[in-house]
Amino acid sequence: MWGIVAAVAVMVGIPAGLTVHGALCRPRPADAIVILGAKTRGTEPGAALKARLDAGLHLYRLGYAPRIIASGGQRRPGAPSEADVMAAYLVKRGVSPGVVILEDASSDTVENLLFSSRLMKVRGWRRAVVVTSAYHLPRALWLARLAGLDATGYAPPTAHFFRTWAYALREIPAFWRSYRKWRWLQGPG
């Protein structure tokens, strides 16, 4: 009986907590806005990516940062990278191409933040606003801080509670996988 109660508490409580935590994050002015990639449909962003792009564009227009890093690699050979799709979307909405920096080598969240932090550090930038979905933001901010960034976050609002809950549930093992990959990328020592 108590095992069932505990399982339900974990299955509901942790995803809800991650999502609420992410939704409550507030950005600070930064050197760059880092928008994390998500599913694309050919040369167009999927719904989650469009929401992230619109949120990042909103922050850019409010003056939170003078630059945007579009972070996301190529999902299929021959297809444009997520970063390419993101840059095209932003430029179509009036962002100067010189403002958008492409990070198009990453294949997951760990690499998004590691490679974006490298792009920032070579330019002397440390402060970032990470833009992603609310359920994803706690892990993304944790990884940004591991990468040495002074990071705050921002998530677009969502009306899809059950879809969000399912994605948030995936974040539980994703924290562990991210930690293991981060350690592996850092090498021995």
- pLDDT tens for each residue of 112-164: 999 999 999 999 999 999 999 988 899 999 999 999 999 999 999 875 655 66
Q: What are 84's two structure tokens?
A: 């390419």
Phi, psi (degrees; rounded to nearest 5) at 81: -70, 160
- Name all domains of the chain by residue range, CATH numbers in brackets: 2-186 (3.40.50.620)
Quick: pLDDT tens for 59-75.
999 999 999 999 999 87
Quick: pLDDT tens for 137-149.
999 999 999 999 9
Cβ atoms of 34 and 131 closer than 8 Å: yes
Backbone region of residue 121 per phi and psi (left: phi > 0; alpha: psi in -120 to 50; beta: other values): alpha
Backbone region of residue 78 per phi and psi (left: phi > 0; alpha: psi in -120 to 50; beta: other values): left
* Mean per-residue pLDDT over the chain, rounded: 85
For the sheet containing 32-36, what is the strand order? 100-103, 68-71, 32-36, 127-131, 150-154
CA dist list (Å): 22 to 69, 145, 180? 20, 15, 22
Cβ atoms of 98 and 132 closer than 8 Å: no
